Structures are given as structure tokens and as C-alpha cells.
Amino acid sequence: MKFITTLRAVSLLCLLLVAGSCNEFVSINNDPNNPTTPVLELLLPATQVSMAGSMRDLNQGTSIVMQHMFTIAASRNFQDGTDYQSSWNSLYTQGLNDIETIIREGTRLNRWDYVSIAKLEKAYLYSLMVDMWGDIPYRDSSKGPSTEDPAFESGAVIYDKLFILIDEALADANKGAFAIQPAAADIIYRGDKAAWIRMGNSLKLKLFNQIRLVQPDKARVGIAALLTANAPLITTNTQDFAFRFGTTETPANRHPWHRSEYQPTKAFYMSQNFMERLFSTDDPRIRYFFYRQTSNFTVGFTPTGNGYFGRYTGDATAAPNDQSLRATVGVYPAGGLYDAGPINNLTAANNVFITNSGATATPKVVTNTDGSGSGVLPFMTNAMVRFTLAEAALTLGTAGDPRQLFQEGITASLSSINTIATSGGNSAPALATATSTSFVANRTAQYDAANADGKLNAVMTQKYIALFGNGMEAYNDYRRTGFPLLPAPIAPLNTFPLRLSYSVTELSTNSNVSDKADKLQTAQQITPVFWDK
């Protein structure tokens, strides 16, 4: 991709600042930007930092589309060719390019541990890109930056290749020693072979479930094969495939939501729809997800008296100077503040899990010295796997008790919040075990009372809430299932986007598509990805 190759050296250096743990393995005697030969222990962490950095715009945009957050244009279903251009460019020129180098050089050196990890990262990233954009360059882009005009390939064809790639990666993991040294060169799993095998199997599960509408037999057989073989999956929160951010402002390695919102000017509002969903259903996660800068504020477009001041999806009203009054991101997933202040409008009849017990703090206007920024980007987690298995059991009849899996998914979500809230420089109180147990029982009673569609709705609604922090997977789930039901935008500019907009620079410079760029971009809004129908 000739138009962005020159950005690579500068962009990679910037992305390396995201992960504070990088300095554990980078020697001052080595220049990672100009090695004489590729150095696998430097390239591997660069791919993982790039994954997290490259997803920033994707995650923010889909979080808005899925009503976790709010900006005026995106919440009205408007998108253009610059919205996701940075993510597109950096995925291809940084993470995926380094991944290909690791695969090539690792194969030459018989370092199958590095090759296995790189192939799994490649499969994860390309599957995500198909999910977001549909048809994308795959074969040609795998040849590296020397390919100037990569051909776009069908998402369905790419998915088929990815299933093969995952199997190759799992086989490579068992070739020779799996000995990443230093272990810190693998930021995510610290060179743990078993963890990467679980990740690979869980990715296969996710992709099989993703295609269940268009290839139900393949999905059913694939999931059944994993379960019958007792293939190890992600089954505990400590096995999550996730990226944990650091705590420093300089270099800037904090969670991107903390960096944008814990300052005087803010990029977002929180979604009023989402906050009210949590408040009205008595969900205790609300104190961890959001921090109120004021306890009581009401304006015309947000009639709330409890401080949960955001914007309703599709509201086109101009933004006043209200940055110091908006509710903002909390301790999960952004490493911000835990909201320990009293909440107005609680009643004994409606609020069992959201209470003011011990809530004595006073709201404050946040600054970059508040919170740690040590948040998380959850790529694929125990909670996601539990909910995916529940969905598959309900819709495909695969093995597993969907009720139990539903319970396990909620429990895993609550536990992951506790982990982030109490580690990495965060000091929020953990949700009490008794509260978690009672909350799961309450949601299970609602599940039990529902019909078949209602049970799937319950599963997907709880997964949607648990996915706060990963709008990309929420976007996937909504297009695949139609759940949870989302309020229509107040003043939409377009229909709900079925794919994300392509990079305008890619469309204008790639000779394979430049002559039909406008047509392709328009089609992105209304054309389902191959697994959606």
C-alpha cells in the first residue's frame, strides 16, 4: 500500500509508547526501528501494541453506533471515509506487516512459538477487519508493503482461509519448544503456550458462531467438534485475550478513553440510552462504567436529575460548554474514577443492587491526575466465550446448558470489573460476592420467565452490557442477532450502517477500486457482511 508505507516508522514509534511494559525488553543497544535483521522479540510486542493502538477509532466508532457512547454525527448513523482511515492504515502498515515478518523469519529460523502466535494474531485481526468492512485486501496485503494495489477479496473466502490459518497456528505451537524469551516480549500472555492454544480455539468458536446464519451446518459441526474434543477454551478471566494499558501520562500509555475524557475538553458524551438502561434495570455496574462530575444536572435534551448527564442517540442539538458537567468514563474499562457519590432517585422498591450504602463521596470535575488510566481493551474474554456458547446452544442446539452459560457469562463480567477496579493502580471497591450472586440470580429469574426469543434476548443483552469497552463485538452481535433492541436515533442522517466506511485514501489510490470508489463507499452503509442476513 504505497500511500502509507512512509508512515510506518514514525507511527510504530508512537504506538510503542502505549505499552509501559515495553521497556522491560527493549535494550538501549538495539534500535527497533532499524534492525540489521528482524528481531522477533522486538517485533512481537510491537504487533500487540499495534493491535491495541490500531483499534482506537474502530472501537470508539462502533461504541457510538452501539449506543455505549455518543457523538452527534456517528450517533445519527453518519460516516465518511476519514472516520476509520487511521485504523485501516495502521492495521495494514504496522501490526499486520510485522506479523508477516515474524511468520516469514520465524519459519526460516524454526521458531514455531513466534510463528504460532503471529498466525493467531493475524487470524484475529483479519477476521475483525472482515467483520467491520466486509471485502478487504488479504492475499496481496500479506506480501508486505511492496504490494501497491492489493486486490479486495470476499469476506467469506477470507474466513475460510482463516479457519485453516488457525489450525496451522495450533499445529505450529506443538512444533519444538515454546520458549519466548524474555517472556515480557509477549505482552499479552507472557509466552504461555497453553494460553495461546486456548485463544486459538476460542477464536474458532467465535468465528463458527459468527457464520451460523449463513452456514448453520458448518457452524454446528465446527462447534460440536471443539466441544467433543474437549479443546481447551478460555474458561477463566485470567485467560482473557486482552490488552492492559499502563498508568503514565508521559509517555502516554493510558487507556485512550482516559486520555481523551480526563481533561478539560472531552471528545464524547456518554450514551444517555445506555446509562438509563443500567439505571432502570438496577445494574450495579453503572458505578464502575460511569463517573458523574455532578450529582444533579438537567438540560432540555437530557431530563435527568441524578447526574447521569449524557446525550440520547441521534440528538442533533449543538453541544454547549458542558464538559465539566457531563458524566464520563469510570474505572472500567478506562481506568478512571469509581463513582462513590450518592445517587438521587433511588427507591427501595426498584433498587436492590444500585444503592447508596457507603456512598459518601462528592462528585468532582475530573482531570488527568484522576484515576490511573490502567484500563483494558478486552479482545476476547471468558465472559464473551460463555455468552457465545449460550447463543450457540440456543440457536444451533450445540452442547451446553444455555442457562448455566448465561449465569457464567454475567459472573465473569462482574469479576472482570472487579479485577480492573482493584489492580494496576486502580483502587475502587470490589463488588461484594453476595451482591454478585444475588444479581446473577435476579437475571436468571428473568431468563427463566422468557420464551425462546426472550432467552436469546437476555443472553445478548447481558453480553452487550458486558461488552462495554469493546464496541466492535457489540456491533457484530447486534447485526447477527438484532439484540438487544436499541432505541432509534432521534434525527438520523442515514440508515444503520451494516459495514464501516472504507479509508478514503485507500479507495482513491488503489487502482483496483479507485474507478468505483464512490459506489463502493455508498454500498458500505447498506450492504451486509457475508455472515449477516
**Set of cell numbers at residue 357:** 450504602
Please check whether residues 61 and 187 belong to one and the same domain: yes
Cα–Cα distance measured from residue 268 to residue 316, given in angstroms and rounded to the nearest whole number: 14
Assess if residue 35 is contained within a domain: yes
Give yes or no for a cis peptide into 429 (omega within 30° of 0). no
Which of the four pLDDT bands, split at 50, 70 and 90, describes residue 148? confident
Query: Domain ends where: 343, 374, 405?
Result: 374
Same domain, 36 and 185: yes
Tell me what pLDDT residue 17 has.
40
Q: Which residues pair with 152 in a beta bridge?
A: 137
pLDDT digits (tens, 9 = 90+) for 456-486: 999 999 999 999 999 999 999 999 999 999 9
Residue that wins the pLDDT comparison between 321 and 416: 416
Q: Which of 348, 374, 400 is the last residue of a domain?
A: 374
For residue 446, pLDDT beyond 50: yes
Under the banding of pLDDT at 50, 70 and 90, the label for residue 95 is very high
Q: Is residue 207 part of a domain?
A: no
pLDDT of residue 143: 75
User: What amino acid occupies position 76?
Assistant: R
Between CA 380 and CA 236, with CA 291 as vertex, the angle to 5 degrees is: 25
Cα of 503 vs its chain's centroid, Å: 20
pLDDT digits (tens, 9 = 90+) for 218-259: 999 999 999 999 999 999 999 999 999 999 988 889 999 999
Mean residue pLDDT across the chain? 92
CA distance 132 to 134: 6
Boundary (domain end) residue, out of 374, 399, 421: 374
Q: Are residues 40 and 181 located together in one domain of the fold?
A: yes
Mark whether 358 and 387 lie in a shared domain: no
User: Do 9 and 151 share a domain, yes or no?
Assistant: yes
224: in domain: no
- Give the 3-state secondary structure of residue 378: strand
Range of the domain at 438: 379-481
Backbone angles phi, psi at 215, to 5 degrees: -135, 65
- Alpha-carbon distance of 188 to 168, in angstroms, equals 21
Residue owning grid cell 473466502: 157
Q: Say if residue 153 is in the same domain as residue 48.
A: yes
**What pLDDT, on a 0 to 100 scale, did the predictor assign at position 360?**
95
The 3-state DSSP class for residue 57 equals helix
pTM: 0.93
Of the chain, the percentage scoring pLDDT greater than 70 comes to: 91
**And the C-alpha cell for 406?**
448465561
- Over residues 347-356, the pLDDT tens digits come to 989 999 999 9
Could you tell me if 310 and 352 lie in one domain? yes
Helix (H) or strand (E) holding 270: strand 269-270
CA distance 481 to 460: 8
Q: Which residue has the higher pLDDT, 150 or 32?
A: 150
Verify that 357 and 392 share a domain, yes or no: no
Q: Which residues are bridge partners to 269 per DSSP?
A: 70
Give the CA distances from residue 110 to residues 177, 260, 382, in Å, rounded to whole numbers and listed in that order: 10, 43, 32
Answer for the pair 191, 178: CB distance below 8 angstroms, yes or no. Answer: yes
- Mean pLDDT over residues 102-114, rounded? 97
The answer to whether residues 263 and 116 belong to one domain is no
Say whether both 325 and 383 belong to one domain.
no
What is the reported pLDDT for 13? 36
Where would I find the H helices in 69-111? 72-75, 85-90, 96-108
Which grid cell sits at 366? 475530573
Would the pLDDT of 32 be above 80? no
Q: Rounded to whole angstroms, how far apart are CA atoms 195 and 189? A: 7
Reading the block at residue 330, the C-alpha cell is 469510570
- For residue 5, name the pLDDT band (cuts at 50, 70, 90): very low
- Answer yes or no: is 351 within a domain: yes
Residue 261 belongs to some domain of the structure: yes
**CA-CA distance, 209 to 212, in Å (whole number)?**
5
- Average pLDDT (420-424) is 97
Task: Give the separation between CA 344 and CA 351, rounded to whole angstroms.
Answer: 12
Same domain, 469 and 369: no
**328: which strand partners?**
291
Is the distance from CB of 316 to CB of 332 less than 8 angstroms?
no
Q: How many CA atoms lie within 13 A of 260 on its CB side?
A: 14
pLDDT for 533 equals 87
Section 372-393 average pLDDT: 98
- Residue 12, pLDDT > 50, answer no
Identify whether 217 is part of a domain. Answer: no
CB atoms within 10 A of CB 94: 25
Residue 232 CB burial class (10 angstroms; 0-12, 13-18, ≥19)? middle
CB 66, CB 478: distance < 8 Å: yes
DSSP type of residue 24: G
Q: How many CA within 13 A on the CB side of residue 529?
A: 30
Q: What's the rounded Cα separation, in Å, for the pair 418 and 431? A: 6
Residue 135, in any domain of the structure: yes
Let me know: does 48 contact 121? Beta carbons within 8 Å.
yes
* pLDDT above 90 for 301: no
> Are 446 and 521 part of one and the same domain?
no
Who has greater pLDDT, 418 or 14? 418
In sequence order, the 6+-apart residues with CB closer than 8 A to the CB of 46 are 12, 15, 16, 32, 94, 95, 98
Higher local confidence (pLDDT), 142 or 423: 423
The answer, yes or no, to whether residue 38 has pLDDT greater than 80, is no
Q: CA geometry: angle at 153 spanning 147 and 159, to 5°? A: 115
pLDDT for the residue numbered 303: 60
170 and 201 in contact (C-beta within 8 Å)?
A: yes
Q: Give the C-alpha separation, 163 to 446, whole Å.
A: 36
- The mean pLDDT value for 179-208 works out to 98
Mean pLDDT, residues 510-524 taken together: 97
In a domain, 358, yes or no: yes
Domains identified in the chain, total number: 3
